Structure 1
Amino acid sequence: MSDLSQKRLCKKCLLYDFPQAQYFTHLYEYIDSLDDDRKVDEIEYDKRLNICIACEDYFQGMCRICGCFVELRAIIGENECAAPNKKW
């Protein structure tokens, strides 16, 4: 194996490998670690999440269009809705 392929080896990168709900902890830790200048304010974040939750393509915290966790997608200011008609 080359050095590059060894560096890419991930021992726990699939969600089902994590104990139940631990991957949500990692998601929230990642969100918290983002620089504030990359995040939208709390009002905009709540607005985006409410739009996602009401969307027909929302399923258990994920977007069926792009497969993202909506909480992560919605917090980052430069992101937009994945739907063709861009709901936010």
Structure 2
Amino acid sequence: MEEATQPKVCRCLLRDMTGENDYLRSVERYRATMPRRLRTPDALYETRLACCRDCEALQNGTCMQCGCYVEMRAARSDMHCPLTAPRW
């Protein structure tokens, strides 16, 4: 009897995934064209992503709490972590 294999789940950001990544390019365009008043400053953006990278809800660049790409949510200064006890 052959064992069923589960798809590998990566607790990583889109930027950590290898190969062609159209989703990452889309996120980068989104952030680059966002009005400055809505864009999270670079240092805070990186802090937010570090929190997401350590979160159990992160799977393949997606927050399993809300279904968004974490890099998109973290990019907006008016957004927050969707957990009941937000990480950021």
TM-score using structure 1 length: 0.72
Rounded to whole Å, the distance in 2 between the matches of 1:31 and 1:51 is: 19
Residue number in structure 1 paired with 2:86: 86
Residue number in structure 2 paired with 1:57: 57
Q: Which runs of 4+ in 1 moved over 2 A?
A: 20-24
Superposition map of 1:1-88 within 5 A: 21-88=21-88
**One-letter identity of the residue aligned with 2:84:** P
Q: With CA pairs under 8 Å and 6+ residues apart, which has the higher RCO, 1 or 2? A: 2
RMSD: 1.2
Rounded to whole Å, the distance in 1 between the matches of 2:23 and 2:81 is: 23
Aligned residues: 69
Identity of aligned residues (%): 28
SS class of match (2:37): helix
**One-letter identity of the residue aligned with 2:54:** A
State the shift of 1:56 in Å.
0.4
Q: Deviations over 1:12-52 (max 9, x none)?
A: xxxxxxxx522332222122110111011111101100000
TM-score using structure 2 length: 0.72
Unaligned segments of structure 1, at least 5 residues = 1-19
Unaligned segments of structure 2, at least 5 residues = 1-19
Q: 1 or 2, which has the higher helix percentage?
A: 1
**One-letter identity of the residue aligned with 1:22:** D
Larger Rg: 1
